[in-house]
């Protein structure tokens, strides 16, 4: 059965005025070796009791104890067995104590000879000091206890340990009694041992030895400090490497923020770590990246107050890290709002590090500690978070630049498509009429005997094709300028009737009296004025009516309706009972150069740019345009919206037949 009481505690009870001191493991190794060497150097056969926490520690010293066992017949070695250490009597008495015994937390070496007595009674400290956190080093282990040449103390320690040995090996009663008789003045009682121990000779370590021990301890401190610096540098480099790898692997800022939040939260053992993107003037941010180490409640998806958080305001404006170690009501330096926020989210200590790039604030990294015994943030930890914040800043800017690049690429691709289309159109639309014009003109020039009728036909054909070319070039230029925003707009209150009238007459004049479907205009009574640029409005009406005429047989019908809708705007619809549009093409018809037959088989004329131009114009006044059709030969309806004017003055619309817009574009 194990004993739960500590030998050190028992000893301190009989030495109430003594104070244990702190020893590093390496110091204990050195002191123990010195004590063992002292035994090996003399031949007075002292009493030696050595306790090893584990069998493996004993193994490292087994050869020494074999030699020590040859020096004395009163040597006791105690260890918690792991593989084959067991009770035994040989060169020395071995005692395999229960691994649950308090002995497994302690380190003892007692030497009591005729001329000197010396003991080392220590207990391992289980709580780690802040400076040793993250250092996984055996030599870093710390013990507290006493190391002394005081004979009374050494005898008392020997009595406690001999009793413990007896507990495990009762058969050694006689041998232990002999030891007590020879080395401990037959004393079995602890207090008596202290009181009755012979005061002389008491050998205190001389100042030289004391100094040596101090140097040993100081050396170990320095070593730990150096290790700590190396470990923190190593952790910093590892995290930065992880971040760089994440940045190299992905240009997705969300993925990079997730890696950062997890690595930081984990690496710094924070209760919670959050990263969010925001500007310094945002009222709130939504938390979408979080590392959570305890059950203090997740902030994921929640709204995080920024304006009311004075700590955030300070960091975002000064671009410097800030931490508050004490958020208790006693801390008068923080505002009530901050304290309430901390209480609500169980934040015991708060570290905020800004993410910025070249003075541009991009977001925040926050680390929260919630345990009451949390350790203060160290300078190394803060500089580590700052290093990661730098990386995150670079990653965010890089991702932003990449997104811009993608936009540019898309624009370039669109431009390239336009160019290819233009080439295709040029191939057919420009070359075909040009060839016709050339043939007609050549015939007129080389055939002087041509009849006046034929001559007229030739001339009309050449003129018609020249007009087709002009229109294509004009539409193309119009669309390019609309798309690039290089168009001057003059929105004004307009009468719909007037614009519709101009649109219809525009179409009729295009068809030069050839037969077109009947156009029925149905305007709701008392329609309000609309707010638009009159010339562009007429242009839209003319293009849609022109399409309706093109794709509807001359005996068909076109109905133009205008009415005020529920959203407080005017919807105009142009319905025909012509060729119709396949349902899956209702959106595609608005693409540049889209024509159902394809550019090269067109029979109806046109450029394939009309609807694209209409959409550009309508979008400028915030309206929408869409097509409806039940399919082939089911007719089509084109609808568009236009806002109602809020001011009253009415402006008369000028006719757009002479392309007046040309003078209104900014170059």
d(CA 383, CA 239): 12
Which residue's CB is nearer to ligand ADP, number 503 or number 578? 578
Under rule CB under 6 A, residue 216 binds ligand ADP: no
Q: Determine which residue in the list 325, 461, 595, 639 makes contact with ligand ADP, applying CB under 6 A.
A: 595
d(CA 312, CA 571): 49
Kindly write out the interface string for residues 632-651 of this chain, putting x where it contacts ligand ADP by CB under 6 A and - elsewhere: ----x---------------
* Segments in 72-206 forming alpha helices (H): 151-168, 173-183, 190-196
Q: Taking contact as CB under 6 A, which single stretch among the options 511-519, 525-533, 572-580, 651-659 is the one that binds ligand ADP?
A: 572-580
| Shortest separation between residue 263's beta carbon and ligand ADP, angstroms | 54
Kindly write out the interface string for residues 529-568 of this chain, putting x where it contacts ligand ADP by CB under 6 A and - elsewhere: ------------------xx--x-----------------
Task: Please tell me the number of Cα atoms within 13 Å of 152 on its side-chain side.
Answer: 15
| Shortest separation between residue 587's beta carbon and ligand ADP, angstroms | 11
Per-residue CA distances from 206 to 129, 224, 523, 563 (Å): 31, 28, 116, 110
3-state secondary structure of 464: helix
d(CA 300, CA 317): 25
Residues 578, 584, 589, 595, CA torsion sign = negative
Under rule CB under 6 A, residue 589 binds ligand ADP: yes
* Segments in 484-585 forming alpha helices (H): 496-510, 534-550
Categorise residue 317: left if φ over 0, alpha if ψ from -120 to 50, beta otherwise.
alpha
Sequence-distant (6+) residues with CB within 8 A of 209 are none
Q: Which residues pair with 613 in a beta bridge?
A: none
Contact present, 421 and 592 (Cβ < 8 Å): yes
Q: Determine which residue in the list 113, 493, 578, 623 makes contact with ligand ADP, applying CB under 6 A.
A: 578
| Shortest separation between residue 559's beta carbon and ligand ADP, angstroms | 12
Under rule CB under 6 A, residue 27 binds ligand ADP: no
- The footprint of ligand ADP on this chain (CB under 6 A) covers a number of residues equal to 19
Q: Taking contact as CB under 6 A, which single stretch among the options 234-242, 322-330, 603-611, 617-625 is the one that binds ligand ADP?
A: 603-611
Q: Determine which residue in the list 267, 433, 610, 623 makes contact with ligand ADP, applying CB under 6 A.
A: 610
Which residue's CB is nearer to ligand ADP, number 497 or number 587? 587
Q: Determine which residue in the list 80, 611, 625, 642 makes contact with ligand ADP, applying CB under 6 A.
A: 611
Q: Determine which residue in the list 577, 607, 616, 641 makes contact with ligand ADP, applying CB under 6 A.
A: 607
3-state secondary structure of 76: strand
CA end-to-end span of the chain? 99
| Shortest separation between residue 492's beta carbon and ligand ADP, angstroms | 26
| Shortest separation between residue 362's beta carbon and ligand ADP, angstroms | 44
Phi, psi of 538 (to 5 degrees): -65, -35
| Shortest separation between residue 620's beta carbon and ligand ADP, angstroms | 17
| Shortest separation between residue 595's beta carbon and ligand ADP, angstroms | 4
Which residue's CB is nearer to ligand ADP, number 75 or number 544? 544
Instruction: Report the residue closest to ligand ADP, judged by CB.
Output: 606
Which residue's CB is nearer to ligand ADP, number 495 or number 581? 581
d(CA 257, CA 267): 15
Contact present, 274 and 298 (Cβ < 8 Å): no
Q: Determine which residue in the list 348, 363, 608, 623 makes contact with ligand ADP, applying CB under 6 A.
A: 608
Residues 385, 387, 393, 398, CA torsion sign = negative
| Shortest separation between residue 654's beta carbon and ligand ADP, angstroms | 24
Under rule CB under 6 A, residue 482 binds ligand ADP: no
Contact present, 305 and 284 (Cβ < 8 Å): yes
The footprint of ligand ADP on residues 266-325 (CB under 6 A) is none
Contact present, 91 and 20 (Cβ < 8 Å): no
Q: Taking contact as CB under 6 A, which single stretch among the options 14-22, 281-289, 440-448, 592-600 is the one that binds ligand ADP?
A: 592-600
Kindly write out the interface string for residues 403-422 of this chain, putting x where it contacts ligand ADP by CB under 6 A and - elsewhere: --------------------
Task: Please tell me the number of Cα atoms within 13 Å of 299 on its side-chain side.
Answer: 27
Under rule CB under 6 A, residue 594 binds ligand ADP: yes
Residue numbers of the site for ligand ADP (CB under 6 A)?
547-548, 551, 576, 578-579, 581, 589, 594-596, 606-612, 636
């Amino acid at each position: 059965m194990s004993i739960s009481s500590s030998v050190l505690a028992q000893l301190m009870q009989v030495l109430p005025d003594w104070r244990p001191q702190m020893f590093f493991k390496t110091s204990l190794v050195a002191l123990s070796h010195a004590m063992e060497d002292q035994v090996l150097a003399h031949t007075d056969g002292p009493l030696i009791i050595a306790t090893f926490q584990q069998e493996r520690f004993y193994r490292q010293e087994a050869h020494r104890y074999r030699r020590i066992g040859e020096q004395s017949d009163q040597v006791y070695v105690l260890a918690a067995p792991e593989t084959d250490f067991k009770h035994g009597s040989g060169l020395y008495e071995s005692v395999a104590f229960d691994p649950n015994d308090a002995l497994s937390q302690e380190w003892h070496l007692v030497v009591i000879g005729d001329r000197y007595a010396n003991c080392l009674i220590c207990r391992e400290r289980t709580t780690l000091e802040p400076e040793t956190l993250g250092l996984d080093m055996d030599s870093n282990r710390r013990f507290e206890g006493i190391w002394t040449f005081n004979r009374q103390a050494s005898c008392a320690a020997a009595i406690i340990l001999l009793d413990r040995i007896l507990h495990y090996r009762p058969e050694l009663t006689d041998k232990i009694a002999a030891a007590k008789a020879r080395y401990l003045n037959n004393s079995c009682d602890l207090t008596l041992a202290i009181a009755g121990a012979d005061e002389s000779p008491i050998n205190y370590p001389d100042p030289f030895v004391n100094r040596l021990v101090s140097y040993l301890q100081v050396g170990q401190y320095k070593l730990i400090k150096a290790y700590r610096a190396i470990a923190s540098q190593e952790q910093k480099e590892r995290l930065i490497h992880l971040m760089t790898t994440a940045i190299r692997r992905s240009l997705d800022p969300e993925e990079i923020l997730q890696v950062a939040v997890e690595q930081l939260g984990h690496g710094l053992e924070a209760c919670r770590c959050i990263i969010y993107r925001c500007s310094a003037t945002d009222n709130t941010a939504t938390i979408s990246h979080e590392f959570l180490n305890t059950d203090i409640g997740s902030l994921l998806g929640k709204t995080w107050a920024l304006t009311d958080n004075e700590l955030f305001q300070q960091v975002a404006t000064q671009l410097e890290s800030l931490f508050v170690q004490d958020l208790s009501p006693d801390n008068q330096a923080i505002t009530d709002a901050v304290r309430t926020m901390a209480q609500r989210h169980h934040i015991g200590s708060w570290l905020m590090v800004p993410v910025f790039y070249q003075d541009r604030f991009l977001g925040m990294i926050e680390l929260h500690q919630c345990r009451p015994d949390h350790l203060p943030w160290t300078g190394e930890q803060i500089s580590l978070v700052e290093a990661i914040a730098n990386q995150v800043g670079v990653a965010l800017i890089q991702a932003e630049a990449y997104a811009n690049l993608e936009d540019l690429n898309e624009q370039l691709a669109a431009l390239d498509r336009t160019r290819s289309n233009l080439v295709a159109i040029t191939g057919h639309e420009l070359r075909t009429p040009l060839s016709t014009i050339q043939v007609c003109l050549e015939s007129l020039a080389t055939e002087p005997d041509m009849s006046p009728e034929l001559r007229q036909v030739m001339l009309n054909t050449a003129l018609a094709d020249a007009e087709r070319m002009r229109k294509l070039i004009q539409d193309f230029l119009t669309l390019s300028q609309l798309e690039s925003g290089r168009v001057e707009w003059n929105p004004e209150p307009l009468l719909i009737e007037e614009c519709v009238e101009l649109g219809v007459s525009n179409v009729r004049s295009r068809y030069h009296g050839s037969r077109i479907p009947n156009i029925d205009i149905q305007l709701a009574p008392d329609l309000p004025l609309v707010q638009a640029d009159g010339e562009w409005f007429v242009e839209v009406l003319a293009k849609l009516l022109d399409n309706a005429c093109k794709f509807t047989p001359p005996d068909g019908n076109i109905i133009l309706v205008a009415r005020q809708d529920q959203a407080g705007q005017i919807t105009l619809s142009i319905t025909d009972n012509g060729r119709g549009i396949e349902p899956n093409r209702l959106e595609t018809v608005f693409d540049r150069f889209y024509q159902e037959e394809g550019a090269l088989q067109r029979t109806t004329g046109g450029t394939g740019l009309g609807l694209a131009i209409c959409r550009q114009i309508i979008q400028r006044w915030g309206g929408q345009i869409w097509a409806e059709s039940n399919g082939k030969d089911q007719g089509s309806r084109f609808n568009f919206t236009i806002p109602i004017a809020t001011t009253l003055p009415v402006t008369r619309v000028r006719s757009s037949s002479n392309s007046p817009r040309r003078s209104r574009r900014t170059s």
